[in-house]
Structures are given as C-alpha cells and as structure tokens.
Structure 1
Amino acid sequence: MAKPIAPIPHKDGIAPSFVGLPQGDWPLVLDFLIVRFPHVAAADIRGRLLRGEVVDEAGTPYAVDSPYRAGTVLWYYRPQPEPLTVPFTETILYQDEILLVVDKPHFLPVTPVGRYALENLQTRLRQRLDNPEITTLHRLDKETAGVILFCQQPAHRHAYHALFESRQVQKTYEAIAGFRRDLVLPYVHHSRIENRDDAFTVQEVAGAPNSETAIELIEQRGEYAHYRLAPHTGRKHQLRVHLAGLGIPIVNDAWYPELMPDKGNDFSSPLQLLARTIEFIDPVTGEARQFSSQRALAWPEPSTMS
C-alpha cells in the first residue's frame, strides 16, 4: 500500500504521522486511539482531540465524539521530547536544484531521533531552505563531522541511492587515534562485523570478512597519529570498530572499545573522526563531483601526549 498523501504540512521540518483505521467495533475514534496507544494516557488523547490536533484525510479535525469509520486514515503530529540544542552550525558547501552538499558539525544527528527530533541536520536544512522534501542520501554518525549529501527533489533520490548501493562513491575519512609502532602502514583491515545482541554497538567476530578499510598514516605525534581512512564497505560504525579492534581507538570515542555513559549536554570532547572527501559521477548530470570538508580535527592536549 502506498503512503497516503498528508492533508497537513510538515511542522518544524517534521512530517506528520498517520494511522489507518482497521475493521473493528469501536464506537468512537477516541475509543480506538486509547486502545491503539496504550502508553499514552486517555486524558492526553482526549485533550488532543479537543484541541483539534488529530485530523482526517481532508484535514478536518476529529472531535471527542467523532464516530469510528473503518478504512479511513487519521493524521497527527507526534509529541516531541524535550529538545537538546547542539551549539554548532552546519556549512553548505554546494547547492543546486537537485543536490545539496553539507559540512556537518560533530554531535548533530543527520535525521530526527529522540531528543534530536527537531535538532538535527535534515530538519535544520528543511527550515533554512524552506524545502520539506530535502532528504539525506547516506548515513553519517551523530558523533562524526564532515561531508554529507542531501537530495532536494524526491524524483532523483533513487538515482543517487543507486550509486551508494553499487559502491560507485569514493569516500575518505580522517581520524586522530592511538599509534602502534608495530603496525605497518599503509594497511588494509578486513573483518566480520555483526550487531551485538545487548547493545546498539557492533563487534568484530570470527568468520568471513564483510568489511574493509584502507588505513594510511598522515602524521604521528607521540602516542597518537593522524590517519586517512578509506572504507571499501559501509558497515555500521565500521571505522570506529576497526581502529578500536587494532588497539588504536579514535580519540574521544565513547562507544569503542568500551561503551561509556551518555555524554548528554557535554560537547567538550568530540569524536576525532571526520568525513573528509566524497567523489562520484553525478547520475543526473554526468559530471564528476568532488567535495571536501573544511573542518579540522584536534590533537589531544599536550599534557596527555608523550
């Protein structure tokens, strides 16, 4: 079933949600919603109906006594958690009618999630450029800074997604991490990465490799080094888990090799990982594209370096 067309616009860059009304014997829409959302207090649902915050396919608000009609759709905006403000600004590196290239700061998620439902890069761009169709074309961790691509027109998203799926996009990253004198560089690291059962992190396990990263040394300072990383595959947290697995974790990594407590509002120790460049042949225009981040990584303070 295709997603129905929303009768209400995006709000603060967030798309409205919808629920299809199945066959059932609920007398009122209110009765259905109380059963459908057991984690929400019945008084809160009633209040949303009284305020006209739930609408039908025509955008007409449901009332507390609106009868239930199976086969229709209702629309609403999800309540957003207390927002977390990220005090860093993105930079637009390139923009045309289709493509949008952005230099993302550390700590800013790419898409809405949890406390970042409003404070994320996609929502910021939709508001800034007054375009609710702006959509990310690939992933970049919240903790990672650097170059990321967005599409401004839905009709062209598939063409760009196909580039990533067929590995026709070349990406390089940079990181400040530990230094191993016995690790001969450049080096290509292969391993099998799988999700952990009890966490959102991943781990390297025995088995046929499903990930590959080329590692080059840019500069060494005492116990730390500046690396260039070229992932051939795009596994979740690949660069972070690869360097941690080699015994040279990225500076300020709170997840690898050991999961640390949530940093919350502490923005003082950004993960020293940067998506430096991205290159590809534009599937729409046929042009060779190459974009580079203008951001810089930070070495650990001298007092912590040998």
Structure 2
Amino acid sequence: MTRQSGHFVPPARNGVGPSCVGLPAGHWPLTLDFLAERFATVGRDAWHQRMLDGDVINEHGITLTPSCPYQAHLRVYYYRDVPDEPRIPFEAVILFQDEQLIVVDKPHFLPVMPSGGYLAETVLVRLKQKLGIDTLVPVHRIDRDTAGLVMFSVQPATRAAYHALFSQRQVKKIYEAIAPWRDDLGLPLTRQSRIVEAGHFMLQHEVSGPPNAVTQIKVLQVRGALARYQLMPVTGKRHQLRVHMAALGVPILGDGLYPTLTPEGQLDYRHPLQLLAKSIEFADPVSGQRRSFESRRALSF
C-alpha cells in the first residue's frame, strides 16, 4: 500500500487502481448497507461478494467484511469488476521517461484514463501494467478521439508543479487538424468565444458573454477542398478546438460530435478524428531544463 495525505491507499491490481468513496455522517448500521444504497445499480449481493473477496478496504488498510459496522468520516477503497472490454488495437508509444515524467504518443481511439465504458483499455492502465508504476497520473488529457502527446507524472511529491504548468498557461501546445478549406476566413486568426456545456452531456457550445476560450489558427497546407491547419490553444476548455473549428464552418474531418452529434455505435477505425496533439514545450519545474516533444504521428489527406 502507498501513503497519500496521511492515509493508506491500496495498490493497483493489474494496472487498475481502486475507486474511493467517503463515508458521510448517517444512520447505516453496516458499511455494506451504505454501499448498497449509495451504489444501488451495483446491487447489494455484488457488494456482499466484493467484501467476501477482500475488495473493500478502508483508509487504515483494514479489509472490510459484510458484518463491519458503519464508521462515518472514513475513506473506503474498492476494486471494480474489470469488464471484458473489446481490445482497442492501437498502442501508445513512450517518447520520454525519467524519474518525474513520462511522455507518450497516443493513438486515436484509446482513452487516456478510465471513464465511461473504458477501464483497462486506456493509456493509463496499459502504462501501469507495462511499467509497474502505480503512482502514474496524467498531468493533462486529450480526447479519446484525438491522437498525440500526453504527459504523465510519476512522483506524487512533484505532481502539483507539473499540473501548475497547465493551470498557469506555461505550456506551449500545438495541434494539427485536417478540415475543409475556406479562403474567406482571413487566416491566420484568433478565435475567442465563451464555451459552456450544451444540453447533451457530451457536448459544448459557444454562447454570448466574456470569452473563456482562445485558439490561434493558421493554415499550413491546402490541397483541393481540404487544408491542414495549425491550432494553438491559449486556454484549455473541453473540446475547445473542435468547437472553434466547427463554429468557423470548417469542422474537423471525422468529428462525430461537431457540428452534428452522430449516434454512438461501433467504432470505425478507418475514419479517425483528424486532430493531432503535435508538439508540447515547457520549462521543466523540477530540473529547470527546457523540454520539447513532438509526436511521430501524422495526419493524412
């Protein structure tokens, strides 16, 4: 087990770390009663079995059984059942690794970390399985649909310094995208708008109000009706690049969300989103060195 903020955290199993829930003040006689109520979709029988299997552990490292009384204000860790996920047939490539940082070149379709229906089939879990480093945490994220560079922090003690690079906008990020060509956009340009969540949980959209999203856009190459664009996000709003390109009337090729949400179904590996996190540059907050990384992947059109 590892120690985190004074508490014990159970180790990952086969690269998948435990989930955590805090126990609030309440009337539940048993911890099992709380879990069965809090996570009703899992079911009481499933929680009972998890406890029998030793999959529920509190912050003191004590394995909880179905008869354990409820104790408020404790953290409880539990291991989820790993579903039989379809294999995503693409691999992330490690470009750089030292004691503090790992930089990978992510393929399209592979999520960075567990979310939704993805648990084992993620960059994070695969890296933990390959390297045996349970402390790995992504410093930032890119969409499952997007390919390119992702940074992972190795050491909890220096993690905040790397997170601060992004929150304080001290990282130069460059993306490339393939989209329709319009010669009336007056490129290069800077798109500034206010982006908020739309009605659908997956979507964002532009609204009136003070800008909270800024992207610098220029064209790199024109080939017939399509062009290769360079996108430099100044801010980091969710789906920012996709929303801005769609708003300009040049939605990124292969985008199943913008401008039109298409039904979610079988992944079509033949038509990935043509968006690539191409390069990243920053001053390393630990070593002081200037770091610069570039994806080996390329978009084709």
Shift of 1:202: 0.8
Alpha-carbon distance between aligned partners in 2 of 1:58 and 1:187, rounded to the nearest angstrom: 55
In the alignment, which residue of structure 1 is the partner of 2:257?
255
Alpha-carbon distance between aligned partners in 2 of 1:180 and 1:67, rounded to the nearest angstrom: 66
Shift of 1:142: 0.8
| SS of alignment partner, residue 259 of structure 1 | coil
Alpha-carbon distance between aligned partners in 2 of 1:251 and 1:20, rounded to the nearest angstrom: 43
Shift of 1:41: 2.4
Contact 1:136/1:149 (8 A) holds in 2:
yes
Alpha-carbon distance between aligned partners in 1 of 2:75 and 2:236, rounded to the nearest angstrom: 37
Taking a change above 3 Å as real, the CA distance of residues 155 and 69 of structure 1, as seen in their structure-2 partners, is closer
Contact 1:84/1:116 (8 A) holds in 2:
no
Contact 2:8/2:61 (8 A) holds in 1:
no
User: Which one of 92, 95, 109 corresponds to residue 94 of structure 2?
Assistant: 92
Alpha-carbon distance between aligned partners in 2 of 1:223 and 1:104, rounded to the nearest angstrom: 28
Alpha-carbon distance between aligned partners in 2 of 1:232 and 1:170, rounded to the nearest angstrom: 8
In the alignment, which residue of structure 2 is the partner of 1:226?
228
One-letter amino acid of the structure 2 residue matched with residue 163 of structure 1: L
Contact 1:93/1:102 (8 A) holds in 2:
yes
Shift of 1:96: 1.0
Cα deviation code 1:243-276 (max 9, x no counterpart): 1111111110000011111143332210000011
> What are structure 1's unaligned runs of at least 5 residues?
300-306
Alpha-carbon distance between aligned partners in 2 of 1:208 and 1:18, rounded to the nearest angstrom: 37
Alpha-carbon distance between aligned partners in 2 of 1:103 and 1:156, rounded to the nearest angstrom: 22
Shift of 1:156: 1.0
* TM-score, normalised by the number of residues in structure 2: 0.90
Contact 1:108/1:120 (8 A) holds in 2:
yes
User: Which one of 181, 186, 189 corresponds to residue 187 of structure 1?
Assistant: 189
In the alignment, which residue of structure 1 is the partner of 2:201?
199
- Identity among equivalent pairs (%): 48
One-letter amino acid of the structure 2 residue matched with residue 45 of structure 1: W
- Could you say what the CA RMSD is over the residues aligned between the two structures, in angstroms? 2.2
User: Which one of 4, 7, 23 corresponds to residue 4 of structure 1?
Assistant: 7
Cα deviation code 1:25-81 (max 9, x no counterpart): 544443343333322322222222333333445545434444445565543212334
Alpha-carbon distance between aligned partners in 2 of 1:211 and 1:31, rounded to the nearest angstrom: 45
One-letter amino acid of the structure 1 residue matched with residue 135 of structure 2: E
One-letter amino acid of the structure 1 residue matched with residue 245 of structure 2: L
In the alignment, which residue of structure 1 is the partner of 2:177?
175
Shift of 1:110: 0.8
| SS of alignment partner, residue 117 of structure 2 | helix
Taking a change above 3 Å as real, the CA distance of residues 68 and 86 of structure 1, as seen in their structure-2 partners, is same
Taking a change above 3 Å as real, the CA distance of residues 16 and 183 of structure 1, as seen in their structure-2 partners, is same
Shift of 1:117: 0.9
Shift of 1:213: 1.4
| SS of alignment partner, residue 174 of structure 2 | strand
* TM-score, normalised by the number of residues in structure 1: 0.89
One-letter amino acid of the structure 1 residue matched with residue 201 of structure 2: A
> What are structure 2's unaligned runs of at least 5 residues?
none
Alpha-carbon distance between aligned partners in 2 of 1:212 and 1:277, rounded to the nearest angstrom: 18
How many residues end up aligned between the 2 structures?
Answer: 298
Mapping of residues 122-133 of structure 1, within 5 Å = 122-133=124-135
